[in-house]
Amino acid sequence: MAKNILIVEDEEHIAEGLKINLEADGYTTDIAGDGLEALEKWRSGSFDLILLDIMLPEMDGLEVCKNIRDESGRIPILFLTARDAEDDRVAGLLAGGDDYITKPFSLKELMLRISAIFRRQSWYDENRLQVDRFEFDNYWVDFKTFTASGQNGPVELSQKECMIIKLLAEHSDEVVTRDMILDAVWGYDVYPSNRTVDNFIVRLRKIFEPDSSKPKYLHTVWGAGYKFTPAGSDDE
């Protein structure tokens, strides 16, 4: 089955250009020209990925993303952001996006990122059954249902959040570098978007850390990466 991609973009020539190129690569697509239409199409359709512009009529991309995540949608969301809009990129990740690409982007890079998202997804789907559930302290993560129980009770995780916590759990008490995370979870080996990883750790800390400023489980190892200590430990 061809992967089905929802293109959310109000600039028609960009939307059409994306559609033509994605379909030439074997994907099926649909286009939404504003935020409300995007939500309607996502609710009534069956999509594998959303390309989401931020500046949109009716409802902006950040709100669209928040709504989807609030409705338990764990579909991968790739934001299209304006160049130099650093705030937008961070806001997109905090709203629940999986990644961003800045306009004007190279079509080749976009295609690589999209195929990487699907490749990592199949890697996850094929491997997740080895361990379905990981328990630590009073918490648990279910890699099969994309759910977890954190400090505020049960939550739904996005695919990428689930992939990261799985990778960290597999390397418990070891340093995991940002590059390892980018490579395993995003499938990139050339894009140094470390900020993307950092924002995901922020999201995971909100779920599992009683005090994000003093992590017990998800530690930053300065200059190296991250370390997950399931038994809980104070930062040195």
Residues that bind Ca ion in the complex, under the rule CB under 5 A: 10, 53, 55
Residue number, 10 or 198, with CB nearest to Ca ion: 10
Q: Given strand 28-32, what is the order of strands in its sheet?
A: 28-32, 4-8, 49-53, 77-82, 99-103
DSSP β-ladder status, 218-221 and 4-8:
unpaired
Residue 34 Cβ, how far from Ca ion at the closest point, in Å? Answer: 9
Residue number, 14 or 221, with CB nearest to Ca ion: 14
Residue number, 55 or 202, with CB nearest to Ca ion: 55
Residue number, 20 or 82, with CB nearest to Ca ion: 82
Main-chain dihedrals φ then ψ at residue 222, nearest 5 degrees: -55, 130
CB of 209 closer than 8 Å to CB of 216: yes
Residue number, 10 or 142, with CB nearest to Ca ion: 10
Residue 21 Cβ, how far from Ca ion at the closest point, in Å? Answer: 18
Calpha distance 80→100 (Å, rounded): 6
Calpha distance 70→204 (Å, rounded): 16
Residue 33 Cβ, how far from Ca ion at the closest point, in Å? Answer: 10
Residue 39 Cβ, how far from Ca ion at the closest point, in Å? Answer: 16
Residue nearest to Ca ion (CB): 55
Residue 10 Cβ, how far from Ca ion at the closest point, in Å? Answer: 5
CA angle 133, 138, 143 (to 5 degrees): 20
Query: In 10 A of CB 165, how many CB atoms?
Result: 23
